[in-house]
Amino acid sequence: MANNATAPKSAPKKSDKGFTGIKSGFLVIVFCWILAESVYVFVFGYKSHFADGDTWTNIPFSFFNEGEHEPVGGDIIGTVYKGGLIVPIIWTLLFTVVALAIERTFAIRTANGKGNLAKFAAEVKKALRANDIDKAEQICDKQKGSVANVVLAALTEYKKQLTTDLETEKKVLAIQKTVEEATALEMPMMQENLPIVGSIVTLGTLTGLLGTVVGMIKSFSAMGSGEGGADSSALSVGISEALVNTASGIATGALAVIAYNFFTNKIDKLTFAIDELGFTIVETFKTTQK
């Protein structure tokens, strides 16, 4: 009967995790690369954006023949297409940041729990001041999320240590260890895929710079080619590639910085709440043992 009684209690805790994020960031990057290539070739390379009215430009070798197709005057999409091979690479990074930002939004919301975190912390502290551990556990069960999971683990250890004959110092250490272990289990879920976003902060800008350098090389090569002076078509291709890649790289790096700092700040608030409530639980326990 004891085993039957404990089984129902453990089952709901599995569903409390909710959305814990995408485990394979590599698959996200691959999907974004396919999306970026498709948009570049089939949307930005479509015939209506070019003066010669050709079909999708020389698929699958469009990357190597940008100079053969001039965009319609004032057509921004055609001009962006002239940015060349590196454009879809930068877009892959850009789409990856957007995708992981959406994924982290849902994951952090799950970690935060169902209710307001500040209100949750205040209610737990109020229950602890009243020495009502059961009430505090009920609040955690209602809140759910990473913070509530850590606090609930600490409260469970709190009640366990009340029935032991250990010294007060050892009891306190046991509760602190429980908080640390529970936090270590929750942190990976909160930080999942953020290192990828952090890498794109630098990688996006560097890739844009690479595209700029390649475009400028083409421009200078065009200026020095031919007996009659610069090849205007090749020169325009080089300049377009340089400017498009510069703009794309800066935009990608800026978005990655904003996303990384935003979610890092969110995680810092969650860890602060965990530390604050863990400290409150330990101090409450010390008070009851005096």
The pTM of this model reads: 0.81
Quote the pLDDT of residue 230.
Answer: 57
Quote the pLDDT of residue 59.
Answer: 46
Bond before 188 cis per omega within 30 degrees: no
Quote the pLDDT of residue 45.
Answer: 80
Give the integer Cα–Cα distance in Å for 206 and 194.
19
In the structure encoding, which two tokens stand for residue 241, read together?
Answer: 């590639």
In the structure encoding, which two tokens stand for residue 220, read together?
Answer: 């200078």
pLDDT, averaged in runs of 10, over the chain (290 residues): 40 51 86 93 80 53 51 74 86 96 92 90 92 93 92 93 88 94 90 93 93 83 63 69 88 96 95 93 85
245 and 210 Cβ atoms separated by less than 8 Å: yes
Give residue for tokens 């205007």: 232
Give the integer Cα–Cα distance in Å for 278 and 175.
9
